[in-house]
Amino acid sequence: MIVTFISQCEKKAIPRTRRVLDAFADRIGDNTWQTVITEEGLIAVKKLLRKTVTKSTAVSCHWIRGRRRSELLWIVGNRNKFNAEGIVSVNTTQKSLHPWKSSHLWQNLELVAIASGIAGLFHDFGKANDLFQAKLNPEIKTEKGYEPYRHEWISLKIFEAFIVDQSDQQWLTQLGNLQASDEGRWLEKLSEMRSRPKLGDTFAYLPQFAQLVAWLIVSHHRLPIYPFFENSPPVLNIHKSGLSKFENLSQYWLSECDVKWNSPNCIKYDWTATEIEKNWMFSHGLPVRSQEWRLKAQLLSKRGCNQIAQIQQLNWLDDPLTMHLSRLMLMMTDHWYSAQNARVELQDQTYQAYANTDNEQKLKQKLDEHNLAVSFYAYIYSRKLPQFIAELPELGGNRILDRGFENGDPQLSEWQDKAVKLCKKLNIRSNECGFFGINMASTGKGKTIANARIMYALSDIEKGTRFSIALGLRTLTAQTGDALKQNLNLDDGDIATIIGSSAIQRLQKAIQKDKSKQEQQRLLVDLEKNEFAMRGSESLEDTEDSFDVDYPDIDPESLLKTWFGKDPKIQKLLHAPILVSTMDYLIPATESLRGGRQIAPILRLLSSDLILDEPDEFGLDDLPALSRLVNWAGMLGAKVLT
């Protein structure tokens, strides 16, 4: 075939691209190459270009089909340098409005940044307790690697002691005027706060925005869940439980959720009075003693007060999108900074409490440093979330997805073409309002390819498509990934395949074997006793899963590389335009107790559409989980097809 390459690269990408293209094609202009090449050779060119791709790379490849016709085959790098047909713009215009402000998804982004930032300031205050500090200290041998009350619950109560009986305006202002001496007042109130074991009682004394921050603090590692070893879980039945007394289901749930939902060990084991008291004693003091921490609090106070009008508009616990985006960014930055080396410049040398240890069980990050760093990056990275999504590549210019197979079976192609034609008419509306579709085709009618074509037709023409295909069977997942890669002429950079999550599989096996509730609970809480929990870095544990991934290199300058530089598997899973996975990879977005296991699935749903393939493989017991997944995908702005 005869092909033409057009380069719109910038900076250092220019010589790198020229070296690759000069080796395969004749340069017929400063930024243009042409050659006769085989399909295998063209694949090799694309792979070489992808290996050195950066933000400054932009190369299009056009197939010369005849005297008057050419066809765009692919684009490597920045697709914004070309339109959907690979044509280079001769003029551009700009809007003064920030792109993220025009999307409903990002309208509260500044509040997401502020909420996650303030929650980051307080999220690990509870680690200052004497039991936790003794657990971290390599010179002290402790019999138990866990405490009666988890540090998130203690952090929540300290935050409550700071906020209680203040309005959002008052406590945000007070946040900027804190002194080391305020610690004594907080600790005096803490004894009273301890006597309120239910979240509903805690939230009743907090203003609306403080409730959001409090929820982020208590859930930044795990979602509260009723202990399996208890025999009387609450019944969420409006007729049997008196739910009608409450304004909504959230209020009823908060009235039932108490300390054991977060810290089941407080009732599971016998604790001495001394151990309980040490769990609430702070010999090293709280991070509010740290001048560095207070300086960071002043900055967030100013930002919060500047947004007070918007902050007071809503009950933020009724805004799940803002809640979950805030929690996502807090979890992600906590996970990210826990893996970094300690930074002395962020520490107050007079404050001696620690947050975690390193691989050799040596004390690593100080507690004031860890809290203020997580706060800083939660705020910064939250504001960069739209940029992160925009940098992820889309699949565009795929002839088969657009037009179907040449000389394909008419019985398969005819109905697919009709569906694609209809979806193209719905394109603009679906991108504005969302989409939920059901493919009623029977098995053997090419439904998998049709689903991909439908999503391609619904996608933004200028940007291309990104979607995830979730299946129930491991063998079917591998077959689907291979079939799509071959039939759609995709390379390794266009598709990634994952088969399973080991942690979810272990739990599912326990349930399938009808093990006791105690055994299921043991599987869920054993993580408290592992190496990462002992090091005070539970967030590090969450991504240590075995995934089968084959994928090329990623732009080292991208936010994806910055945020997940030490998690290459997550990088590849988020980067691929098409992801084919078993359902248990995406399900943790709504089901997982462990927060870190939610990070990658949530970001995947946030950045791509969703196809539930072969839903008839699931039973009735799976429907609640699937419904939650569909609800989440819609909340995050994804189109859903099943």
Instruction: For residues 288 and 180, state if they share a domain.
Output: yes
| Residue 436, in any domain of the structure | no
Query: What is the reported pLDDT for 288?
Result: 97
| Residue 405, in any domain of the structure | no
| Residue 432, in any domain of the structure | no
Instruction: For residues 6 and 111, state if they share a domain.
Output: no
Instruction: For residues 343 and 482, state if they share a domain.
Output: no
Query: What is the reported pLDDT for 99?
Result: 47
Instruction: For residues 57 and 146, state if they share a domain.
Output: no
| Residue 94, in any domain of the structure | no
Query: What is the reported pLDDT for 547?
Result: 47
Instruction: For residues 38 and 110, state if they share a domain.
Output: no
Query: What is the reported pLDDT for 535?
Result: 56
| Residue 457, in any domain of the structure | no
Q: 3-class SS at 212?
A: helix
The predicted-structure confidence for 144-199, as pLDDT tens digits, reads as follows: 778 999 999 999 999 999 998 899 999 999 999 999 999 999 999 998 888 888 88
Instruction: For residues 163 and 74, state if they share a domain.
Output: no
* % pLDDT > 70, the chain: 87
Instruction: For residues 616 and 482, state if they share a domain.
Output: yes
Instruction: For residues 74 and 177, state if they share a domain.
Output: no
CA distances in angstroms from 7 to 33, 68, 77, 445, listed in the order given: 9, 22, 10, 41
What are the b/e assignments for 165-176, b being 16+ CB within 10 Å? ebebeebbbebb
Instruction: For residues 171 and 65, state if they share a domain.
Output: no
Q: Give me the domain span that covers residue 30.
A: 2-81
Query: What is the reported pLDDT for 248?
Result: 66
User: DSSP string of 514-556?
Assistant: T--HHHHHHHHHGGGGSHHHHTT-HHHHTT------------T
| Residue 240, in any domain of the structure | yes
- The distance from CA 48 to its chain's CA centroid, rounded to whole angstroms, is 30
What is the pTM for the complete model shown?
0.85
Total domains, the chain? 3
End-to-end CA, the chain? 38
Sign of CA dihedral 222, 223, 228, 230: positive
Query: What is the reported pLDDT for 544?
Result: 43
Instruction: For residues 154 and 214, state if they share a domain.
Output: yes
User: DSSP string of 376-402?
Assistant: HHHHHHHHTHHHHHHHS--B---HHHH
Domain final position from 44, 66, 81: 81
Report the alpha-carbon distance of residue 395 to residue 463 in Å, rounded. 8
Instruction: For residues 70 and 115, state if they share a domain.
Output: no
CA distances in angstroms from 619 to 47, 244, 616, 630, listed in the order given: 42, 32, 7, 16
Q: Find the angle CA(72)-CA(78)-CA(81) to the nearest 5 degrees.
A: 65
CA distances in angstroms from 207 to 168, 195, 316, 456, 514, listed in the order given: 6, 20, 10, 45, 44
Query: What is the reported pLDDT for 470?
Result: 93
| Residue 207, in any domain of the structure | yes
Domain final position from 81, 114, 129: 81
Query: What is the reported pLDDT for 523?
Result: 46
Instruction: For residues 274 and 336, state if they share a domain.
Output: yes
Query: What is the reported pLDDT for 537?
Result: 58
Domain final position from 37, 66, 81: 81
Q: What is the CATH number of the domain that holds 54?
A: 3.30.70.240
Query: What is the reported pLDDT for 422?
Result: 95
Query: What is the reported pLDDT for 91?
Result: 83
Report the alpha-carbon distance of residue 302 to residue 271 in Å, rounded. 43
List alpha helices for 164-207, DSSP H: 168-175, 182-193, 199-204
| Residue 202, in any domain of the structure | yes
Q: What is the CATH number of the domain that holds 596?
A: 3.40.50.300
Query: What is the reported pLDDT for 353?
Result: 95
| Weakly modelled stretches of the chain, pLDDT under 70 | 94-104, 236-249, 500-553, 592-593, 595
